[in-house]
Structure 1
Amino acid sequence: MTDATAAGPPDEGQLPAGTPPGFRSGFACFVGRPNAGKSTLTNALVGSKIAIASSKPQTTRHAIRGIVHRPDAQLVLIDTPGLHKPRTLLGERLNDLVRGTWTEVDVVGVCLPANEKIGPGDTYLVGEIAKLPKQPRLIAVATKSDLVRPERMAQHLLAIQGLEQTLGIAWSSIVPVSATAGEQLDVLADEIVALLPEGPMLYPDGEITDEPEVTLVAELIREAALEGVRDELPHSITVEVEEMGLREGRPENKPLLDVYASMIVERDSQKGIIIGHRGSRLKEIGAAARQQIEALLGTPVYLDLKVKVLKEWQRNAKHLNRLGF
């Protein structure tokens, strides 16, 4: 994985042969309260689903990098968890991940949903970024623009502008967008790219993420599991892919990817909820996840899905280390 802190561009005279004059490359991340639209926006800009999105808060648990390729630039977007008040050791580690990412990137896009008023959580978040010793460039992103009328958007943009004086910051730009409707995504990409340093490509052309396939598969299974579950369950679910590989002996034109995975919860009662009556819920999760995995990898999938109980895994350092947190 490329280290953002070590990815600064060389001197202009040292750029690799074939790099277009004025080519820019660098790192950006979107931050915001849970459900501010960060993952949906990242996917829309990358043009492919590399980060899971859910209506459940605190869905994102990894810093996943998505790569935007342009003739004039390569933009690496880091999708991070939402900063939140931690209740577990996992929550503390996720917050540390977010703050660490802020120190690595060239640009931070602050997502402020247009259909919600700017609240204490937003001002706290921006205030924390303002305290960083090395300030990234800041862009305000008014997400979910398709959900509000023009009058409401005008009020929202004025409120965003007002944060400059309140918090002592300076927005490089303020951009309303709708990731779901595809509105103003090109404008936002142009604004971010303009703030990146000149430098060479950081990843091979055509690569959309540096995240291992096994991690993306685990995330797609977790996304399927999150749909329709009770409010207390999302934080208790994680997924571990135990084995993944192409089945031997299959014709080249008829490959089949075998995936053996376990959904891990904290209590027996949660296991029952995930399995459902006579396994109905587990079958739904498996079908939805398999469809998403096949779309991502372009290969038919056999998915063997189990449910395991690992008591209080979110609070246990040993369990968190084993699960990759």
Structure 2
Amino acid sequence: MHRKSRKKIMVAGGAGFLGSHLCERLTAQGHDVLCVDNFITGARDNLDTLLSEPGFTLMHHDVTEPLSVDVDEIYNLACPASPIHYQRDPVRTTKTSILGAINMLDLARRNDARVLQASTSEVYGDPEVHPQPEEYRGRVNPIGLRSCYDEGKRCAETLFFDYHRQHGLAIKVVRIFNTYGPRMHPNDGRVVSNLIVQALRGESITLYGDGQQTRSFCYVDDLIEAMMRMMRTGPEITGPINIGNPSECTIRQMAQIVLDVTGSSSTLVHLPLPPDDPKQRCPDITRAREILEWEPTVALRQGIEKTVAYFDRILADRGSARS
């Protein structure tokens, strides 16, 4: 890489599912990558292929505490993203979203750096508009079990745009919809990981409600490509921009795909819907298509096959895969 195009890039939450894939892509492009993580939900194993790379540095740090480093760009992915993880310590989750955003924004100001916020489709709550465009302001319960994450991310967006307006900071905000792929945590409670792990272990497949609630599932490689394109946009582009797969799928349909790919004989069981669980979730990606010239390319079954292969391997390593 030409010296002028080589950047110092920090990825907060870089040992997590998305962060580790992003670190991998940025390192492969020849950038100097600083991965910052407190390992509450991230895993050092996710970074095994990077630890020996000369341009990669790993720092154990919690973004709720200030940080002083020299960087050109910051990707802020630091926050537990699955309900099981973010509800385990909801106060810490809120602090991570809000204090973490403030610390990353202040770091960007000191470095005159660009900073990207990995926001979420959860800012739309249980939506009354479908699919969800960026102009939709959402329907979020501010005192529910999920609000530590939902409202934390909403406040982080507020902070990003206030720093932009008040300080002229170069910000980028993306709203991430359901993403899946290798390196998801097997016990994170998310739909895809739940279904695959249950199928591989021969356990009953858990569906909440009637299984007709919908999600849109984007493979991790597509998602990372969109984030990197967003960072490369001109200073006039701030977002928010939805990134996700506009192809809708019911949870029951997803369960059937997982059963087909794994060849599992697991049966379906129904449990009550969790509180504030959205009935529909699907992005309007018109802005992403027009501004980023991006849309997902990995078909759902193809992505599930890759993800099943990953979980089959790690479960086998732990001695708990199907025989």
Q: TM-score, normalised by structure 2?
A: 0.33
Q: TM-score, normalised by structure 1?
A: 0.33
